[in-house]
Amino acid sequence: MEGGRISGIETADGEAIEADAVIAAVPPDELGRILPEGAIDLPAFSFSPIVDLHLWFDRPVMDEEFVIPVGSPVGPVFDLSKIRGDGPLTHIVVSQSAADDWIDRPVDEIAERLVSSLGDLLPAVRRAVLVDRLALKHREATFIPVPGIDWIRPSAKTPIAGLYLAGDWTATGWPATIEGAVRSGIVAAARLEGEL
């Protein structure tokens, strides 16, 4: 920043890139770390974790590209092999949101419990061989929308000239969703374009 205006970015390896405008599409805690202290007043959000369990099977285990179970301990299931059309193995992802009970468990325990429940949902899982598994844990994946939160969610335009915000945590009118994040990016780009 120079004179209250954004002047560019500095990459992780120290390279300075000059710019008249920047759209910061990062979580609020990351934004607070990269901006000078006190540069912008960021709201304090509470966050909820997500655990994505990636499973590779020796054969197909579902007919659909994705399934959103109801009344099951298993969260949404995506067949990435069908969606991407890649690889000899079947690669599915089970996405556990509000994963407070899962986030600190070891991957073996997560896999054992979810694969067992997945077999109830998708019987072909019981006949397949689990070749590999990986758990990706996102501690602060989504902000928790408590009453009144919309009053503190920042707009795309900031008090810093040339700095715009994008992310599902900004004032999108939507909860913490992919759609909200996309919407915020569109709004930030439109604001930036309108001021250049």
Spatial separation of the C-alpha atoms in residues 33 and 87, rounded to whole Å: 39
- pLDDT for position 106: 96
How far apart (Å, rounded) are the C-alpha atoms in residues 183 and 166? 9
- pLDDT score recorded for residue 140: 87
pLDDT in tens, the chain (196 residues): 777 888 899 888 999 999 999 999 998 888 888 888 888 888 788 889 999 999 999 999 999 999 999 999 999 999 999 998 877 899 999 999 999 999 999 999 999 999 999 999 999 999 999 999 999 999 988 888 888 888 889 999 998 999 999 999 999 988 888 899 999 999 999 999 988 7
CA 73 vs. chain centroid, Å, equals 21
**Measured between alpha carbons, how far is 188 from 154 in angstroms, rounded to an integer?**
12
What are the structural domain ranges in the chain? 47-142
Look at residue 100 in the predicted model and tell me its pLDDT. Answer: 94
> Which pLDDT belongs to residue 42?
81
47-142 belongs to CATH 2.60.40.60 = no
As a whole number of angstroms, the distance between CA 8 and CA 28 comes to: 19
